[in-house]
């Protein structure tokens, strides 16, 4: 029976690892936005969708209650420790394309940001974190997102260094949870049968 349990576990692991290469794999990252400086106000939510086949990012953010009005916004990466610290801008020099300026609340959905283009990343990020090679920038950014070392930041007239921010974290898609729960249920059933004998 232990061999059957091991076989089920092996099959479950293999099915979780089997990913079709022809289909886009979209990973969603999310964060709650909160004040990052003493006296700052505001809150919001942001999601970032990464398409590993198209090599794109799509950013969707909502915020309200800023003490100042928006000036710029971007993704910073990669802090020394997950969920804390500050670091320079990684994605996009200046500000995100089309980000609304001069508002204390709003909504932003980016155009697709092409991670193969040099204008998507700052030179500082490419030189410091990607070894000076644009081709390394995408994987470096995604590693930072996966590790919780990248944050979305909204800067304002009151807080030029950033009024609200949130460290982005990956959100597993529902299919992964369903598959994992089915596998755990199968292992539990096999285990109960083993104990009953």
Report pLDDT digits (tens) over 144-176: 999 999 999 999 999 999 999 999 999 985 544
Kind plus residue range of the DSSP H or E element containing 109: strand 106-109
CATH of the domain at 161: 2.60.40
SS3 content of the chain, % helix, strand, coil (to 5): 30, 30, 35
How confident is the model at residue 71, as a pLDDT? Answer: 97
158 in a structural domain: yes
Tell which residue, 44, 53, 27, has the closest CA to residue 169. 27
pTM confidence score: 0.76
Domain that holds residue 122: 25-173
178 in a structural domain: no
Q: What is the mean predicted confidence (pLDDT) over 40-56?
A: 96
Q: Give dist(CA 68, CA 155) in Å, integer.
A: 9
Phi, psi for residue 137 in degrees, rounded to 5: -65, -45
Task: Say whether pLDDT at 139 is over 70.
Answer: yes
39 in a structural domain: yes
Q: Which of 72-76, 125-129, 186-190 has the lowest mean pLDDT?
A: 186-190
How confident is the model at residue 172, as a pLDDT? Answer: 82
Domain count, the chain: 1
195 in a structural domain: no
């Amino acid at each position: 029976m232990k061999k059957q349990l091991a076989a089920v576990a092996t099959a479950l692991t293999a099915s979780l690892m089997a990913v079709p290469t022809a289909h886009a794999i979209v990973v969603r990252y999310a964060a709650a936005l909160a004040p990052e400086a003493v006296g700052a106000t505001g809150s919001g939510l942001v999601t970032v969708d990464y398409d590993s086949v198209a090599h794109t990012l799509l950013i969707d953010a909502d915020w309200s209650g800023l003490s100042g009005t928006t000036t710029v916004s971007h993704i910073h990466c990669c802090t020394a420790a997950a969920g804390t610290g500050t670091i320079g801008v990684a994605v996009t020099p200046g500000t995100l394309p089309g980000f609304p300026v001069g508002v204390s609340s709003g909504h932003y959905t980016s155009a697709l940001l092409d991670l193969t283009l040099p204008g998507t990343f700052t030179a500082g990020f490419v030189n410091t974190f990607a070894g000076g090679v644009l081709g390394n920038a995408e994987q470096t950014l995604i590693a930072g997102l996966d590790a919780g070392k990248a944050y979305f930041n909204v800067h304002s007239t009151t807080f030029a260094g950033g009024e609200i921010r949130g460290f982005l974290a990956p959100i597993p898609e529902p299919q992964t949870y369903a598959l994992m729960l089915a596998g755990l249920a199968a292992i539990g059933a096999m285990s109960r049968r083993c104990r009953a004998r």
